[in-house]
Amino acid sequence: MSKHVFHLAWFLSQGYGPKTWRTDWPGPAADLARWMMPDLFLDLARGLERACFDYVIIEDSSMVPYTYRGSHDTYLKYAASTPKLDPAVLVPYLAQATKHLGLVPTLSTTEYPPYLLARLVNSLDHVTEGRIGWNCVTSSNDGAAQNYGHLGQPPHDERYDVADEFTDLVTKLWEAWEPDAVALDREAPLFADGSKVHPVHHEGRYFRCRGPLNAPRSPQGRVPICQAGGSERGKAFSSRWADTIITDANSVAGMKAYREDVRRRAVGWGRDPDSIKVLFLAFPIVDVSMEAAQDRRARMRADSGRHLDLQLSTMSRLTNIDFSRFALDEPLPELTTNGHQSSLAKWIGITPRELAMTRSNKMGIDLTGTADHVAGLMEEIMQEVGGDGFLIFNTYFDRRYLMEVFDGLVPALQRRGAVRTRYAHRHFRDNLMEF
């Protein structure tokens, strides 16, 4: 592989929920009521594997939000962040349809007990034969905390303190069985050797757990951890634990600075910085001509303008701040949040209308044009940033969009030698660490 090869992953924004129901295509004949059946997601996974993506993240949250105007109506009106089915349920379906693709459900450290999460991920790693990852999130919305018996989220930085201890415990549970603990000796008989299975006896500030896990070490043992902390405390956490970091930096300079920052922090934890792959959120629009692509981008922007409440409600959900309070055309004042700090920091000084029009459309970097044009831009950006790849998303994707990416954009990248053309390994971690 050449030095400039980079990774591709897919962010299944709005998780295991409805996708195309409000767009012009596939049209009213599509059976929108069956969004919970995995058909579209299976097409997505097969396409991702054809295009040799490293992994797909299944986003998640577990509440019907009500931050915007103090009501859940806007969220339900647009199917914005709700409804969502459990991402772990989708994983075995995607695993059956693929052989190499990494599968990364989102599971929260403030919602799961550590043992339950360790057990679920271990089970999924077994049944996918080593293709599971964990998108480790701390959650941010008070509505979710209230579904799990709390009044609201713990303070922002403390959520990461909890996550540190949580992740330490979970990784110990994953490794509690030595790799050769299962003897399978029928004569003896000895199924598993007790001297090679170790209780963890964890007693920390937030958790107690005896262990060991009641299942053997899975193919990857310690599965790849994906993380998106963007604040100072978030980056301290992700640089310590993550194998792949995802972020929404909104300029090439910002991307470069972010990557250098987390790589420097990784060295501080005694880690090889190349053992973390930083992937940047990107929403490409590719079409047969520059004009056709730009026209589609303009139509999406106009749609955002027509449905400002959809965008404002999302911003509200992410930050626990009700954005209906602010004048649409006045720059946002200094604000603080117990939610997504790094997102909010980027919005101060911009008007709510401008944010609503652009936030979900470009994520700062405009990748619009023919497949070859966009491939060239992505290659240039990666050369400037230094690595490690892109996390492609389109909240309301349809099958046409999938074909444009998998059969248009990715082949254009492959012709340039910018992305892989085949998988070299069976396990997700090995493919992730290949370059």
Ligand X SMILES: Cc1cc2nc3c(=O)[nH]c(=O)nc-3n(C[C@H](O)[C@H](O)[C@H](O)COP(=O)(O)O)c2cc1C
Binding site for ligand X (CB under 6 A): 11, 59-61, 106, 135, 137, 139-140, 156, 228-231, 234, 246-248, 281, 340-342, 391
Joined tokens for residue 342: 């790094």
Write down the least CB distance from residue 140 to ligand X, Å: 5
Write down the least CB distance from residue 178 to ligand X, Å: 33
Could you tell me which of 195, 202, 165 has the C-alpha nearest to residue 177?
Answer: 195
SS (H, E, C) 388-424: CEEEECCCCCCHHHHHHHHHHHHHHHHHCCCCCCCCC
Identity of the residue numbered 161? D
343 versus 414: smaller Cβ distance to ligand X: 343
Largest CA distance in the chain: 78
Q: What is the three-class DSSP state of 244?
A: strand
Question: 179-205 burial, b if ≥16 CB within 10 A, otherwise e?
Answer: eebbeeeeeeeeebeeebbeebebeee
- Integer Cα distance of 369 and 291 in angstroms: 8
Could you tell me which of 407, 374, 379, 410 has the C-alpha nearest to residue 292?
Answer: 374
Write down the least CB distance from residue 127 to ligand X, Å: 22
Could you tell me which of 45, 69, 62, 173 has the C-alpha nearest to residue 110?
Answer: 62
Give the sign of the dihedral formed by CA 401, CA 406, CA 411, CA 416: positive
